[in-house]
Amino acid sequence: MNMSKPEVKKIPVALIKYLETKGISPKILEHKTVYTAIDAANTLKRKMDEIVKSLLVKADNYYYIVCLPANQNLDFAKIKSAIEKETGIKVKTVQIPSEKAMQEILKLKNQAVTAFGGYHQLPILAEKKLAGIKQAIFSSGSFNHSLELRMKDFLRLENAVLASFGINKKVKLTNTHPSPSIKMKPGANKKMAKKRKAAKKSKRKASKKKKK
């Protein structure tokens, strides 16, 4: 039986041209297929706060690309306030469009939303904590490639608006050891070892009595 290899989705040519015209030359990281920022962190063996998560957000009838560390969730109340402060317009509702709507709005074909607002012709809002990162991994639109570049270059390129709208979340990476489900008291292991030793000794004595 012929086992065909999964198709590797290349970085959109238009994105490469966009970055070249802006004088940006990111490091291209090729990897196995990943669909989430957590998967990217596990695959690339990077810390979660070094992976930039890109979300398409709809505020009433306007769209924005929101970027935040992969170890944070989006606080909708805070992003709403950030958009209102930046635009000076009152916002009624903020939501994440469906995947189908995202594909239609951004005209994507088997691609993910990238972190580059200029490429999508949309404004960028970035979580303030990202400004403290030197190097970061960004979505390229391909599920098999990511882009690494300096954060200050990204923020300058996209003229990103910095605001605080992330909520820390607990994330377990596959290369870390899970914490034990049962907490042992200090000295508990020694007590258990003594009990096991005493039990074995008792069995040996019982076995000798039977033989006699």
199 vs 212: CA distance, rounded Å = 20
Spell out the domains of the chain, with CATH numbers in brackets.
13-168 (3.90.960.10)
pLDDT at residue 176, rounded to an integer: 41
Alpha helices in the chain (DSSP H): 13-21, 37-44, 76-87, 99-106, 117-120, 151-158, 188-211
Alpha-carbon Rg for the chain in angstroms: 26
Q: With cut-offs at 50, 70 and 90, classify the pLDDT of residue 173.
A: low
Q: And the tokens for 172?
A: 């377990």
For the stretch 69-121, pLDDT in tens is 999 999 999 999 999 999 999 999 999 998 888 888 888 877 888 999 999 99
Nearest one of 160, 70, 66, 153 to 113, comparing CA atoms: 66
Q: Residue with structure tokens 């769209």?
A: 63
Question: Residue 19 has what DSSP assignment?
Answer: H
Mean pLDDT of 23-35: 89
Residue 20 pLDDT > 50: yes
pLDDT at residue 203, rounded to an integer: 65
